[in-house]
Each structure stands twice: as structure tokens, then as C-alpha cells.
Chains A and B, each alone.
Chain A
């Protein structure tokens, strides 16, 4: 371990109220700790700045999944395993199941949380593309109260979030799709399991009268943060399944991405393969 342990300490609040109070007293000096599957990697490598961990694990307020007629509301501490095991998630959000299944391995899925996956703000995280595709909303909590923000407005740049220093991510709210839906998710990692995404594309479309009535596409690993493919969406919206403008959509997708060369893939690979994923998604959509 390359982290210097004496530089760190852990506070374990017993309630959400206590947690928020601590954060309000010294904004910015606490680092929320959920499953630790991102934080411990950075700590182990000696790249985590000295901090006070705020352990969220006792906060019952942040656990559990609630379902009502129009949405599913996931507590921040919902794990990947819980997503995989939840019947309603299978029923309404198959892409989220696929995201969870494609994340790390079982041990990571048991500990890693949905809020951690979002708040860690990695462009390569695997649930954000699905959450973008389903039009998720986030509920943030602070001593000032509860605030809701559309998830596609939450990422503001590389590791920049619409989240104040005294705020915690409390809930992830995902509206249930209505009507005849089409779901597509594909992660291209460095290998078939235990891999970080080189690119990832999730899509949800509502089909009405043989046309694309509603469409959201979420992309991972091709921009400084998870992004909606708004240009590609615009090229496809309202179009009949029988004659989807595939070439135009692929072209439009270029404007949605700003991929880089890194240790896992070249920008060129990301650009080509993401367009191919869109192509595959459209082949499936055409047959839906």
C-alpha cells in the first residue's frame, strides 16, 4: 500500500443528519466513502490526497429501492448486485442490468454502489450510459435541503459535477419507459470480464407507428464525462424504422464524441468502434 495511513481518518456518522452536519461544518474536507472500490484503488496507489473519509455505510436513508407507478428510486448505496437481483430493474431497465453485470467481477459488484459509480465521475463508468439512456434524475441532499437535477446536466466536464462540497448524492430516480421500447447496451472493454470500457453505448428508444418516437443514447469513454449523443439522436428522431438514416446518424455521432488516446485505446479506435456500435444498434432497432 502506497498511501500513508496516518494521513487519513474515517468518520462513521450514524444518520444522514449527522453526516450532513459534519460536511457543513467543514465543507470540502470530507470524502464520502461508499463501497470504496474506487477510493481504495487510488489510496493503494498512493495517489489519494490526505482526507477525512465519511463512511456512508450506516446511513439507512441512502439504501433500498422504491418503486411507484412511474419510476424506480434507487438509494445511493444500491450495489451492482442489488441491481442485478431486482426484478423491477430486469423488467423496466434491462440496460442497467447489463451495465451492472459488465462491471468488475462479483466482489466488486457486491461492494460498489450506483452513487459511487456516478460521483466518481469516471468517463469510463458503465452505469452512466444506461442512466443517460433512461433519462435518469438525481436527488442531492445537503443541510439546505433536497435538490433534483437531470442526470444529463450533472456532468460538467472532466471530473466536474453539479454537486456542492456539502452535498451528498441521495437517490437516483429513473422513470419507467412507457409504450413499446427498444433497449440496447454494449460495452467494449479491454477483455470480456474485469475490464474497463474502451467505449460503451446504451440506448433507449420508444417506437410508435413504426417510427422512432423517443430516443436517448448514452456514451461512455469517448468524452471527458459520460455524454448523451444528442446529434445522433436528432438525426434519428421521428424516422421510420424501415429507413433509418444510418450513415447520417453515424456521421452525426462524430460531433457527440471527443475521444482521446490513452492507455486502453486510441482515439481513432474509439471513434470507429463507437460508430460501429451505433450501426449495430440501428440494425437491431430496424428489426425491432
Chain B
């Protein structure tokens, strides 16, 4: 059970092709929906013209005027309209203006092209600096979607006293999640018992987010809205907030037409309009004493938040908390801002702000080591957090943290010292191939930042079924990460049953409680812990009511459940999140325990750069992490390998190319994710360290592997090529050429 590599619960159906994804769902008479978008980054919508040659009378058309409830997507801040109305302001190039549906899916596309939008264009803000300069003002009073300050001690007096003050600026680009299944929704809106009933089936991570969005859109009570999560072909955060938008669109079309409506994006549309990782710019200033001890740190951390707030406030918050990384520092000041631009809003993506600020800090540590004339390993070793130290938010490290041990293990596994020595001899040669090895040390906070878990107060449960098996009741979704399997293992362990006797109930808001969104590396650790409680309660109830006698065998347990269900009708037991008393957080001062715990890691990369073509090959990769107890080693290793692949992609190739606020490489041909040939062997090492919070001692792992690869790879590039301006990802061949020329041209 816990600790075993149980096979994936839904694996068989996926392999046999019988798993039902949203677009597979049989729905006779369904119309095909499409979205007409603005195409200009900013302007006032003056009119919508319906062109010639289209039988418009056969179409269902929805505009802002049709919206029955509130035309705002329920989110952290309710600022994003589902549709822009005539006379209203368009704020990005993919803004939805009109929804179309028709039984003929080819005709609906033809119709989309026949629509002409009359837009009075306004000057747009397309990058971070223009937004900061209010050139022009496009959002609120200062173009800020969110601003956060974290303070510890007082860095100001330190700068003058310190032996060394080192500054740096680092940038990271947008990144697409590139789930295999593009965003997809299917909706039916029909009266039931005289009341309007809105149902949405979709590819979505957070059923209750969509549920909340639909309630607000239609102005309906909880009971009249139902959201069902279908089999999902990947998400990575890309189906965390966006489904509230396209789920709403599908439901509006279904409501107006009175027919089922499918709204299935193709790749081009999905890439152009759905959320991405936030681009970032981080300015760091660090003070060291003569021995290399970190005395003060100042971070100016900025995210490009796009046209609406979406999840930017919380992405910013995680990024800000991770900005000081794994180092002990008495004086810290972090100023974090998410700025508005006229671009499609970014949103959640594995790592959620942390990869951006950690890239800056882990690159900066290597730059500092070079400038201080110290070894990058020793500089880090000197400054690591230990038990009893406080982080930037004042959080005290309560675990016996051994980052140096973690680092040494990763460096030994990749052969760091030997390779450095060897490359120092071979790189000065004439050949075009230069090699380097580098690493990063980092952490990832598990679960929501700050009071998030308390706000959501997740509920999850277990249910006994008539055949004596047990079902997991949770709104957590399976997106390929293995939730179905891991939850079954946790419940099976608590009930001492074989994992085959536990399965997941369909994720349907009519049937499962709100266990919170499937995000933030929280499902195994947070929901798993609640399920453990629920399972134990379930067993106690069976015992107390005389159905079960301990000790029991799986057969006698199953018989007890059969009997209990036959006698009582339904048999469910729920658990709920309770904040542990030693965890305190203040949302206003940003002081306290930002996360209940952290996963810790050191990643090391070896690269080979071809100076003929400026192509970078990652030749070897080691990922060592301490993640508490590993529930399912195969699935966990899969998470790490996949995250490393995504992290290397972000570091070297994946670039969202924008022109006038539109992504122009919105095809898989031109948005370059790595193939298996582009990736190295990835050696995954887990150090287990049972943490009391999660089930069986588990922590979160889903996002961790996204944080470390980019800085490790770029640090390795510096080792291979020397001191270039390696301050940005992706470090594409074109960019690397530019940076090499900066040096050779002086």
C-alpha cells in the first residue's frame, strides 16, 4: 500500500482506449461551439458585423447582453468578464466577444471567419516596463494587480558595512503547459422540476472553481449547478483557472440554444488564448561579509500578470515567499508586484511563481560565488538554512534539515568534482563542444500559501459500496499524476485492505464533497491526510455499530461493508482539514508559517554546448529530493522525470513569441517542447524523512521538479562557457549566440 508502486487505477482504460475524455462523451444532438475573439490588444468594441453567405438564422449566438447573471468570472478578484459587450473595453488580443454554436462543426468555423468586429483601437501595454511606467495606465490606479512586501530585519544599514554587495537582474519567459488534450467542455442546461439545471462536463482540475463560476454567471443556487470532471489528458495548472471561463462559455451556449453544446479548443486556439506561466523580472541585491556569509538580501520580483488578475495574486505570493530560497539571511526585503499588460492573462502552471524567483536566486548564487572568488558549493554550504533558523517570513525551520547532505549526494551522483576538473582541461581545446556541470538547491512549499488551506477547509470522505468495496469521495481530479491510485493506497493502508478493494468515485459535484482544487502539490499531503482520518472513522463506525470485529481479514471487512450498506442504505464517512495549532500566518504582514512544510532538493545537470550551432544538449541529470514518505515510487519518479523535462524545456527551448500581444508560434511545430531525444537520462533519488503532516509522512512533490532544472542547466552553461550574461530563460540557441558575441565583441 503506502510505499508500493501500485499500478495506475485508470491505466487499463487509458491503454485500451476506453477512457472517456470530454470530447468522447456521447451526447446526441450536441452543437459545436466556437469563440469569436478580439484580435487587437486593446480598444473599444463598437460593433459586431455578421458577414454574408452564412445562414445566421441557424446559429446560436451569445453576446454579453445575453448573460443571465453576473458577467464576471469568479476568481481571486472578480475583474474578468466572460464576454465583452458593445461599448466596453477590450483588454487583450484573445478577448471573447461572441459565442457561436451550430450542428455543423465546419460551418461554425466558416461563420467565425465571417464575423467582423469593429474596434476602436487604444494604445496597449505589452511588457513589464511599460506597465510600471504607466505607459499608459490600463488597470486600476497604478497598473498593479497585486503588491506584496515581506520584511525581516533591516537591510538598509548593511549595504554600506558589508564587504561585498552584488546585484543582478534575471528574467524568465512565459511557458505553455502543453497538456496533450486541449481545453474541452460539454454542457447541458435544461429545466428539471421547474428549475434551471446547469451541467458541465469537462477537462478541468478544480470542479468547485467551475461550480462557483457557473453559479455567479447564472445567478443560481448551489443545487442547480453540477460539474463533472472527465478523464483528463494532462493539465499542469493549465486547467486550474481557465475552465471557469470556457466552462461558462459552453454553458451560455447550451442555455441559449436549449441543446447540448461542445466547446473543444483546437491546439492553435488553446495555445493562443489559455493561461501560461507568468513572465518575470527579478532584481536581486545581496550583501556578504568577507567570508561569504549572506548578510542581507533585497528582491524586486515582478510578474507580468496580463489583462486580468486571474490567479496572479496567489502566484505572486508563492513566488515572493520562495524568493529568498534556502538561505539563512538576517535581513531580507522582498517587494513583489504583478503588473497588468494587454496580453492574455497567464495563470497557474506547475511551480506557481516559485520557478521564477528561484531561477533568479539560484543563478545569482553562482554569479555571487564567481564574484566573491568562492566555490559555488561552498558558498551555498555556508549559507544554508538549518533547524532553528528563520526564513524570510519569520517561519522557523522545525525539521532536522540537512541541505548540505542533499547537495553532496547530488554532486557525488553526477560526478561534479571530477567533471569540473576534466572540463577545465578539455574546454580550452579547439573543438566546438564545451562541457559544463552545474546545480541548484531549492525548496517548494507544500500545499497552499498562508491561510489557503484554512479558507478552503477541504472535506473528503470514503463510502462503502453494496459490493463491499470502498470508494474515495473527493473532488480532487486525476490529470495523469496518479491521484486515483495514491488516494486508494492511502485509504487501503488506513483500512489495512488490498488496494484493489478501494477505488475512486466519479468526480461529480453532485456526489463528492469539496476537497479543494487539485493544485499546489496538495492532494496527496492535504487531501490524503483527510482521507486517512475519514477511513479510520469509517472503520471505527463499522466496529462501533457491530458490523466489524477487529482483527479482520479483507474478506471479513468486505462482508461487513456489504451488510452495513444493506442495513443502513448509505455508508459514508467524511473528514475535514483542521489547521494544526502550531501553524500561524498573517495575511497582512506576510509573517508566519507560509507553508506547513517544504520539500527540499538539489538538482545537478551536465551540459554540452556546440559552439558551431549554439545548441545545448543536457548530457546528464541528477535529481535528489527529500519529500517525506514516498507513497508510490513509480508515480513519484514519473512526477520528477516529467517535471525535470518541463523544467529543461523552460530553460532551453520553450518560448512564447508575442507580436502585438498575440502568441504567433501557437503550433506544436514552433513552440518547442523537448522530445525524448532532447532529454538526458534523469537519475531520481528520494530521501525519505517522515513528516507528521501528510498521510504516512508524505509531502508534496508535484511542483518541486519544475523549480530546479532551469537554474541548474544555466549554471552548467556558465561552467562550460565562462562568464556570459546568462540571466534569462529560455536560453535558446539564438540568445546564446547573442550572449557569446557580447563577450567576443567586448
B-binding residues in A (CB < 8 A): 1-6, 45-46, 188, 190-196, 198, 263-266, 268-269, 272-273, 276-277, 279-280
Interface check B426, CB cutoff 8 A: no
Across the interface, do B109 and A272 meet the contact criterion of CB distance under 8 Å?
Answer: no
A118 to B: closest C-beta gap in Å: 20
Q: How far is the CB of B271 from chain A (nearest CB, A)?
A: 12
Complex alpha-carbon distance, A191 and B657, angstroms: 17
Per DSSP, chain A at the interface is: loop
Enumerate chain A residues within 8 angstroms of B612, measured Cβ to Cβ.
273, 276-277, 279-280
Closest chain-A Cβ to B380's Cβ sits at a distance in Å of 32
28 sample A-B contacts, Cβ–Cβ < 8 Å, listed by A number: A1-B105, A1-B266, A2-B268, A4-B107, A4-B109, A188-B613, A191-B677, A191-B678, A192-B677, A193-B675, A193-B676, A193-B677, A194-B675, A195-B672, A196-B669, A263-B657, A263-B670, A265-B734, A269-B734, A273-B612, A273-B614, A273-B733, A276-B611, A276-B612, A276-B613, A277-B613, A279-B612, A280-B612
Nearest residue in A to B109 (C-beta to C-beta)?
A2
Q: How far is the CA of A60 from the CA of B678 in the complex (A)?
A: 39
Report whether A192 and B734 are in contact in the complex, using a CB–CB cutoff of 8 Å: no
In the complex the two chains form, is A191's CB within 8 Å of B672's CB? Answer: yes
In the bound complex, what is the Cα–Cα distance between A45 and B737 (angstroms)? 33
> From residue B730, how far is it (CB to closest CB) to chain A in Å?
11
Complex Cα distance, B665 from A3, in Å, reads 19
Cα A188 to Cα B657 in complex, Å, equals 20
Residue of A whose beta carbon sits closest to that of B612: A276
> Shortest distance in angstroms between B608's beta carbon and chain A's nearest beta carbon?
12
Could you tell me the distance in whole angstroms from the C-beta of B430 to the nearest C-beta in chain A? 9
A46 to B110, CA, bound (A): 9
The residue of chain B having its C-beta at the shortest distance from the C-beta of A105 within the complex is: B675
- Bound together, the chains give a CA A268 to CA B741 distance in angstroms of 11
A186 to chain B, nearest CB (A): 8
Q: Footprint of A on B, CB under 8 Å?
A: 105-107, 109-110, 113, 266, 268, 432, 611-615, 617, 653, 657, 664-665, 667, 669-670, 672, 674-678, 733-734, 737
Beyond A192-B675, A263-B665, is A280–B432 a contact (Cβ under 8 Å)? Answer: yes
Residue of A whose beta carbon sits closest to that of B617 = A192
A1 CB contacts on chain B under 8 angstroms:
105-106, 109, 266
**Which chain B residue shows the least CB distance to A273?**
B613
Contact of B678 among A192, A263, A272 (CB under 8 A): A192
Other CB < 8 Å A-B pairs besides A188-B613, A264-B670, 20 of them? A1-B109, A4-B106, A4-B107, A4-B109, A6-B106, A46-B109, A188-B615, A191-B653, A192-B677, A192-B678, A194-B675, A196-B669, A198-B733, A265-B734, A266-B734, A268-B737, A269-B733, A273-B612, A277-B613, A280-B432
- Expressed in whole angstroms, the Cα–Cα distance for A2 and B667 within the complex equals 14
Interchain CA distance A266-B734 in the complex, whole Å:
7
- In the complex, A258→B670 CA distance in Å? 22
Q: Roughly how many angstroms separate A268 CA and B617 CA in the complex, as a whole number? A: 22
CA distance A6 to B110 in the complex (A): 11
Q: Could you tell me the distance between the alpha carbons of A71 and B106 in the complex, rounded to whole angstroms?
A: 48
Given contacts A5-B106, A263-B657, A277-B612, contact A190 B672 (CB under 8 A): yes
**Chain B residue at minimum C-beta to C-beta distance from A276:** B612
Given A192-B675, A192-B677: A2 in contact with B266 (beta carbons within 8 A): yes
Q: How far is the CB of A66 from chain B (nearest CB, A)?
A: 34
Q: Which B residues are in CB contact (< 8 Å) with A3?
A: 106
Task: Select from chain B the residue with minimum beta-carbon distance to A5.
Answer: B106
CB of B614 to closest CB in A, whole Å? 7
Please tell me which one of the listed residues B107, B664, B675 contacts residue A191 in the complex, with CB atoms under 8 A apart: B675
Contacts of B611 in A (CB 8 A): 276
Docked pose: A4 CA to B113 CA in angstroms: 11
Q: Across the interface, do A193 and B670 meet the contact criterion of CB distance under 8 Å? A: no
Cβ of B43 to closest chain A Cβ, rounded Å: 24
Q: Which residues of B contact A193 (CB under 8 A)?
A: 675-678
A198 to B665, CA, bound (A): 15
C-alpha gap A279/B266 in the complex (Å): 43
A12 to B669 Cα, complex, angstroms: 30
State the CA gap A279–B432 with chains docked (Å).
Answer: 11
- List, in ascending order, chain B residues with CB within 8 A of A46's CB: 109, 113
Given A196-B669, A273-B612, A279-B612: A191 and B674 within 8 A (CB)? yes
Return chain A residues, CB-CB under 8 Å to B674.
Answer: 191
- Chain B residues contacting A263 (CB-CB under 8 Å) are 657, 664-665, 670
Residues of chain A within 8 A (CB-CB) of B737 are 268-269, 272-273
B499 CB to nearest chain A CB (Å): 37
Whole-angstrom distance between the Cβ of B295 and the nearest chain A Cβ: 42
- Residue in B113, B432, B653, B669 with the greatest tally of chain A CB atoms within 10 Å: B669
Question: What are the 6 closest A-B residue pairs judged by CB atoms, nearest first?
Answer: A276-B612, A192-B677, A193-B677, A269-B734, A193-B675, A190-B672
Chain B residues with CB under 8 Å of A279's CB are 612
| Bound: A280/B433 CA distance, A | 12
> CA A263 – CA B668 in complex, angstroms?
12
Nearest Cβ distance between residue B265 and chain A, in whole angstroms? 12
Given A4-B106, A269-B733, A273-B614, decide whether A190 and B675 contact each other with a Cβ distance below 8 A.
no
